[in-house]
Structure 1
Amino acid sequence: MAKKVLRLMTELSSRKSISRIMGRFSHSSVSRYVIPTFIRNYKIPASEAEKDISEYHSLNAFFTRKLKPGMRPIDTDEHSLTSPVDARITAMGDISSGTILNVKGQNYSIDELLHHSPHLELYKNGYVFVLYLSPTDYHRIHSPVTGVKMESEHIRGRVYPVNDFAMTHMPSVLSRNERLITYIAHSFGEVAVIKVGAMNVSSIQYSDESVSQWSKGDDLAYFEFGSTVVLLMENGTFTPRDDLKPGDTVRMGQALGDLHPSPLSGNH
């Protein structure tokens, strides 16, 4: 029975009525009994968790767990941009005139992804990472830079799957799903951290809504089941590591590349 429930919860649905039911279950005390099955099925390294498994009062509490200190070292290079999450790289590359090319065979418009925000001009020829978190992964999101929040936008949307099948066969999932976007100004410009939700209604939460600035690696937000982060770097301000490619896995705190002044804008 537990396996069937977990399969239903991770095979995400776009029907919000089902999402609400599954959301209520994952927050209920009854759901704590499926935590051992969840850990076993997805081979989760439970020893990394901040608390003992018996201390989590619901499946959601375990899913949004923090880790023990030191489990994810943060790259210390002053100019590095670090991965905000544990994830697999779905796509990465230059943004071409406002279009993210070939994300599982689909192109995405920055204008639609950012919900027609004025910030989109900063990213039309920037750089993008699409980072997919599986149920196995640690689901907290951390700041990829040291900087200050410029703006936050919560876009209500659908709750389509973000797995490989949906990303390949359903149109524009990343632009149609619920999104929580954080624009963070850093020494050389700005980054947009786009948290794309799935499964549960209101499935993306800030760790502390009152916080407006972060150091690299600080806790920023968390997902409740099913998730992708799209990370955008401002035009001309980022050079990726040359050894990364789509399909690679990264851990939170690992360097994705280097930030630098933009030759396009004279940004210093």
Structure 2
Amino acid sequence: MKRWLMRSMTELSSRKSISRLTGRLAQSSISRRFIPTFARMYSIQVQEAEKPIGEYSTLNEFFTRRLRPGARAIDEAPDSLVSPVDALITGAGVIQAGTIFNIKGQDYTIDELLNRSPRTASYVGGFCLVLYLSPTDYHRIHAPVGGAIVEREHVPGKVYPVNEFGLRHMKRVLSRNERLITYIRHAGGEVAVVKVGAMNVSSIKYVDPHAKATTKGEELAYFEFGSTVVLLTEDNSFTLRGDLMVGKKVRMGEALGTLRT
């Protein structure tokens, strides 16, 4: 009964109108007074921020903050795939015949996740990493590889939560939520960076929606409040780092494994 009630409440609160209302509040000047409380509540490492906490004019500006130079090291190995975000790994595994198995007890198809893109065929035997950003985390999304940006797609959808409850008890939220998908062609193939919106996220925004290329570690986009990135590699092109697993935290720029070159 409790789980049913939670699901019903989540369904009602996943309306874009409610998400927009939350977004407007976070972008208002009155939200500035909540920044210190927000930072303490989520144990945010304010010393890593680009500016002193008192210089942010809204909660949204603080939430989408950049980091000070040198706060993250980008792995420089030419064959490395780096984490695009600070996040918790909530899913990792080989894609089997186009299906991602057991993401918090649920299966997803590449076809639905990539909105039936013709590019799906390249990923049916690839690798998938699901990276969850909590309110504690830095919320800018960076390029996991350097290369040409060959396509972008915006997929409209819901804004269900992508936390533990949402992934486990809501129906396939990663493929039902709003998504921005960026395909990057690198020296050994292609990767798809799927940015998944979440409850109370007013938007996902590109830093430069017209960029034709990117370098490893360069900013791609940012979330206005927490969400998830699904990182996909092509068939037989990626080897996961041996000590990584579901439940492990990673930081932006950290090597996740190696790519075929």
CA contact (8 A) 1:161 1:226 kept: no
Task: Give the distance between the partners of 1:175 and 1:146, measured in 2 at CA.
Answer: 26
CA contact (8 A) 2:23 2:202 kept: no
Note the C-alpha offset of 1:200: 4.2
Match of 1:178 in 2: 178
Unpaired segments of 5 or more residues in structure 2?
A: 1-11
For normalisation by structure 2, the TM-score amounts to 0.94
Aligned residues: 250
Could you tell which deviates more after superposition, 246-255 or 206-215? 206-215
CA contact (8 A) 2:201 2:226 kept: no
Match of 1:7 in 2: none
Q: Residue 183 of structure 2 aligns to which amino acid in structure 1?
A: Y
Q: What is the CA deviation profile of residues 20-53 of structure 1, one whole-angstrom value per residue up to 9, with x for unaligned ones?
A: 1101001111111100000000000001000111
Against the structure 1 CA distance between its residues 155 and 228, is the aligned structure 2 distance closer, same or farther, given a 3 Å change threshold? same
Match of 1:259 in 2: 259
Match runs of 1:161-176 below 5 Å: 161-176=161-176
Q: What is the CA deviation profile of residues 65-124 of structure 1, one whole-angstrom value per residue up to 9, with x for unaligned ones?
A: 000001000001111000000000001010000000000000001100000000100100
Q: Aligned pair 1:148/2:148, yes or no?
A: yes
Note the C-alpha offset of 1:201: 5.9
Q: CA RMSD in A?
A: 1.1
CA contact (8 A) 2:22 2:202 kept: no
Match of 1:26 in 2: 26
CA contact (8 A) 1:180 1:196 kept: yes
3-state DSSP of counterpart to 2:73: coil
CA contact (8 A) 2:201 2:223 kept: no
Deviation >4 Å, runs of 4+:
none
Q: Residue 78 of structure 1 aligns to which amino acid in structure 2?
A: P
Q: What is the CA deviation profile of residues 138-161 of structure 1, one whole-angstrom value per residue up to 9, with x for unaligned ones?
A: 000000001111100001100000
3-state DSSP of counterpart to 1:137: coil
Task: Give the distance between the partners of 1:32 and 1:65, measured in 2 at CA.
Answer: 14
For normalisation by structure 1, the TM-score amounts to 0.91
Q: Aligned pair 1:240/2:219, yes or no?
A: no
Match of 1:69 in 2: 69
Task: Give the distance between the partners of 2:122 and 2:98, measured in 1 at CA.
Answer: 10
Match of 2:8 in 1: none
CA contact (8 A) 1:134 1:226 kept: yes
Task: Give the distance between the partners of 2:235 and 2:29, measured in 1 at CA.
Answer: 47
Q: Residue 114 of structure 1 aligns to which amino acid in structure 2?
A: L
